[in-house]
Structure 1
Amino acid sequence: MRWYANVKEVGGGDTTVVLAHGYGANQTLWDKLLPALSQHHRVILFDWDFTGGGADEQEAEAARYTFGRFADDLIALMDDKGVRGAVVVGHSMSAMAACIASVRRPDLFAHLVLLCASPRYMDSPSEGYVGGFDRASIDGMLGAMSSDFGAWVKGFVPNAAGGDPSASSALEQSFLSMHPGVALEVARMIFLGDQRGALDAVAAPCTVVQVAADFAAPPAVAEYMRRRMEKAAEVEVVVIDSVGHFPQLVAPQQLLAVLQRVLRRAAGEVVVGAEEEQAGEAAEVVEDDGGIDVTA
């Protein structure tokens, strides 16, 4: 059983870009970026299976969701499409799946773009780690999802979309398309998991892209990731001056500029001058511990 579907390939060129969406989304999340990316590059999109409706089979499989399984399916997808040396953009939970996949099959990955990524969402005060949520907040969120998933979505999505009404509408529809049982199990995997150890083995060049006011993955996490990925060939942190957890929807031009620069570098072009200066300004890490109630 594969946990991906609806594989789509557009554009063409020497560089392949794989776009992996995060929790609650689907491949339409990338629509605002696709025309520009596909103009000069081969772009592969797909849907993780939790985006679907309420199939009984999905519900039965829910408890088996793991980051390692998502990583294996990302590898399988890339093998099926004959991909080698791709730029892989992993949003949210897909970022950590891509990290694990890059360690298991380094030949597939030329560069990782880790978008709104977090290896652990739960704070660990004894280690000085700030993930953005304490255990009580996560338990409250999971409880709210379990008791009334639709109501939780309607409270959660506006914050995730940064208060953008047009983005909220599309995102709410996407969240509500998930089977509530599957959505809850995937959320448990994400918010109770700890993938920090996976960062130690990542060797591929990485660009960690965070949003300045992202309640789910505060920019302090990006700085932690940079310090932890000591084996990576290169780790750059870029913080987009925006709000929410979905810059593809609310800050597409800023995100596109970052991706285009990564793609030029992956193609061997030298990026200098004003672009580097702008990137340096954007890469300032903003300390932000969140503060939004995710249980509503």
Structure 2
Amino acid sequence: MDKQNLALVFPGQGSQKVGMLAELAEAHPIITATFAEASDALDYDMWKLVQQGEQEQLNLTETTQPVLLTASVAVWRLWCEQKGPRPALMAGHSLGEFSALVCAGALAFGDAVRLVRARGQAMQTAVPVGQGAMAAVMGLDDAEIERICQEQAGDGVVEAVNYNSPGQVVIAGHAGAVERTAEALKAAGAKRAVLLPVSAPFHTSLMRPAGDKLAEALEAISVSKPETPVVHNVHAQTEEEPEQIKELLIKQIYSPVKWVGCVQTMVDAGVEITVEAGPGKVLSGLNKRIHKALNCVNVDTPESLEKALAAVQA
């Protein structure tokens, strides 16, 4: 059954934590079965890492990306098993866009797990560790942030990269330029400008070498027309053509994530409920700030699954 006012959304990096989905896995074997499938694709015990590993290892980009994709796909499979309705639209934040494409039937799961590990490695090596930085900026409008980034860049790169919600934008680039810009933004009236604990300047023009590597990896991978339309980060629109989807995935690495636009596109299409499939509630919080009338629920525990199924059947 399709539900026209429902969208499923998939989280990106930052939502991972040791022990995630443990309760859900106890109640529903499909969770560990999905992790076992990913483990076979990557040749290590991913579930053991997620449950018993170190947070530091989980936070390494090349580990985080396959782990979060697997967690989201596992929750989607459980959703289907529980007879949750098919959404009218799907979307994911950064890495989450790959999760959305797997769940929409455009990418094979095994291919996607290997692909996002390669993506993570490419993103990590595009800029040497310590040379890049990201900072979250609160309480200043987008145009002002963009202007100050241009003003402060100097010989470096600093760009607005994640338009997460009204009044929350992430900037990224060379570490010195980001730190300088964060101070200038605070002086211009930003409530906060906080450096993020990440190891690379994601979604900046500095990530173009990673885009080239992803393009190579994508050459060997088959992409199909999505069974459920996916709203893409680059232009906040849906795309049906497989070759265009590949282009958007490459471009996404070095382009801003237009999350506000993605949510607005879903709302304009009649979406009233978003279900966040995967660990945490980051997107649920952002979605609510973008459009207060949205009913935003998440699924990462047995209780939240029950609540989400009740919300969509109401």
TM-score range, shorter chain: 0.3 to 0.5
Q: Tell which has more relative contact order, 1 or 2 (C-alpha 8 A, sep 6+).
A: 2
Q: Which structure has the greater CA radius of gyration? A: 2
TM-score between both structures, scaled by the size of structure 2: 0.35
TM-score between both structures, scaled by the size of structure 1: 0.37
